[in-house]
């Protein structure tokens, strides 16, 4: 009997030792498998499929027809592609120039010790609870030429309230909507980041006589560098692919003057049913967005896995 017990005990010990050797090795790839499978199915494989469809002529109804490089050879002739890239870049750069400073200022201010901050904060971050659709619909109504704000305050808006009817006006409105809807999001991120800046840096600078502006530019901004980079990536990828707002507010108008490339892709594929050509545009956008994101990721070193706190 005792032999059996001894045998069982030693077996159990060996198993445990084996397990703990295994255990010391950490989680295996299997832990990530479900995520990778689902992600592959709904994100990676579709990318391959988009490339495949870009070699086809498909109208969504009849079976796709393989046409080789025909769609790609036709690239220079795709209607409004060049113009749409221009518009997209203009909107992108302007959005960053508008939203980044606002987000920064909001976030840094909100991270500070001012009184009444809570009330203001609640209002400032209100847009985050509204969907892009809701925001776009409301703004479109507000900007009506005759019965909206431009109509009733025509002095500020140039006479006849024709804001959405011109390219400059439409772009201004889109930038305003972007700022209204997205700056709070970035403000929140910067607020979180700014809170993490060690107070002792500011105290040391204050002792050295540095004023508010000096402290902002010499301490706050450099400390927020990683966050700024991340925010810019967000905005760039968003600008290269988002089109919900434009679709609802201007529908790419007037006369295609706010037609960005992602919106062009959507219309080409889902309104005109040229899914092959739409896929060509989609592939170009994927390359652009992917390329930029990868570049930035490498630059800011997201790969490293060690704890930031080690050695602190």
Interface of this chain with other proteins, residues 133 to 172, rule: CB under 8 A: 133-135, 137-152, 159-166, 169
- Residue whose CB is less far from other proteins, 4 or 312: 312
Asked if residue 128 binds other proteins (CB under 8 A), the reply is yes
Question: Binding other proteins by CB under 8 A: which of 57, 70, 132, 210?
Answer: 132
Contacts of 96 (CB under 8 A, 6+ apart): 232, 235, 236, 239
| 56 DSSP β-pair partners | 66
The distance of closest approach from Cβ of residue 283 to other proteins in the complex, given in angstroms and rounded to an integer, is 8
- The answer to the question of residue 73 lying near other proteins (CB under 8 A) is no
Cβ at position 92, least distance to other proteins in Å: 13
To other proteins, the closest distance from the beta carbon of 146 in angstroms equals 6
List 2, 3, 63, 156, residue binding other proteins (CB under 8 A): 63
Q: Which of 84, 99, 104, 190 binds other proteins (CB under 8 A)?
A: 190
Asked if 100 touches other proteins (CB under 8 A), the answer is no
Q: How far apart are CA 251 and CA 172, in angstroms?
A: 15
- Surface-to-core class of residue 150, CB atoms within 10 Å of its CB (0-12 exposed, 13-18 middle, 19+ buried): buried
**127 near other proteins, judged by CB under 8 A:** yes
HEC string for the chain: CHHHHHHHHHHHHHHHHHHHHHHHCCCCHHHHHHHHHHHHHHHHHHHHHHHHHCCEECCCCCCCEECCCHHHHCHHHCCCHHHHHHHHHHHHHHHHHHHHHHHHHHHHHHHCCCCCHHHHHHHHCHHHHCCHHHHHHHHHHHCCCCCCHHHHCCCCCCCCCCCCCCHHHHHHHHHHHHHHHHHHHHHHHHHHHHHCCCHHHHHHHHHCCCCHHHHHHHHHHHHCHHHHHHHHHHHHHHHHHCCHHHHHHCCCCCCCCCCCHHHHHHHHHHCCCCHHHHHHHHHHHHHHHHHHHHHHHHHHCCCCCCCCCCCC
User: Which is nearer to other proteins, 1 or 25 (by Cβ)?
Assistant: 25
- Told to check if 266 binds other proteins by CB under 8 A, we report yes
Supply the minimum distance, in Å, between the C-beta of residue 91 and other proteins.
15
User: Using the rule CB under 8 A, is 103 a contact of other proteins?
Assistant: no
| Identified binder of other proteins from the candidate list 88, 91, 104, 224, rule CB under 8 A | 224
Should residue 36 be labelled a site residue for other proteins when binding is judged by CB under 8 A?
yes
Helix axes 275-300, 261-270, angle to 10 degrees: 150
Stretch that binds other proteins, among 1-9, 83-91, 92-100, 279-287 (CB under 8 A): 279-287
Residue 151: CB minimum distance to other proteins, A? 7
Q: Which of these ranges, 2-10, 66-74, 89-97, 276-284, lies near other proteins under the rule CB under 8 A? A: 276-284
Shortest CB 198 distance to other proteins, Å: 10
- Interacting residue with other proteins among 2, 3, 31, 115 (CB under 8 A): 31
The distance of closest approach from Cβ of residue 85 to other proteins in the complex, given in angstroms and rounded to an integer, is: 15
User: Smallest distance from the beta carbon of 7 to other proteins, in angstroms?
Assistant: 21
Number of residues that bind other proteins (CB under 8 A): 143
């Amino acid at each position: 009997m005792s032999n059996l017990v001894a045998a069982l005990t030693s077996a159990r010990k060996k198993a445990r030792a084996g397990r703990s050797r295994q255990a010391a090795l950490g989680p295996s790839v299997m832990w990530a498998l479900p995520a990778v499978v689902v992600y592959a199915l709904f994100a990676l494989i579709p990318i391959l499929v988009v490339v495949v469809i870009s070699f086809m002529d498909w109208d969504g109804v009849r079976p796709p027809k393989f046409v080789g490089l025909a769609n790609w050879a036709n690239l220079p002739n795709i209607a409004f592609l060049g113009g749409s890239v221009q518009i997209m870049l203009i909107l992108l750069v302007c959005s960053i120039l508008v939203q980044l400073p606002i987000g920064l200022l909001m976030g840094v201010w909100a991270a500070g010790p001012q009184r009444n901050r809570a009330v203001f904060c609640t209002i400032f971050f209100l847009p985050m609870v509204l969907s892009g659709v809701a925001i776009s619909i409301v703004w479109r109504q507000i900007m009506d030429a005759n019965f909206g704000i431009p109509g009733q305050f025509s002095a500020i808006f140039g006479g006849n309230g024709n804001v959405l009817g011109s390219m400059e006006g439409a772009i201004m409105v889109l930038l305003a909507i972007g700022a209204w809807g997205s700056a709070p999001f970035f403000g929140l991120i910067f607020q979180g980041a700014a809170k993490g800046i060690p107070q002792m840096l500011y105290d040391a600078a204050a002792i050295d006589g540095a004023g508010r502006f000096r402290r902002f530019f010499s301490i706050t901004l450099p400390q927020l560098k990683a966050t700024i980079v991340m925010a810019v990536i967000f905005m760039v990828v968003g600008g290269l692919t988002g089109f919900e707002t434009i679709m609802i507010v201007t529908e790419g108008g007037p006369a295609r003057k706010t037609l960005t490339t992602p919106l062009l892709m959507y219309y080409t594929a889902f309104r005109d049913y040229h899914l092959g050509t739409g896929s060509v545009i989609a592939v170009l956008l994927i390359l652009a967005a992917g390329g930029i994101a990868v570049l930035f990721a490498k630059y800011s070193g997201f790969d490293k896995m060690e704890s930031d706190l080690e050695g602190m």
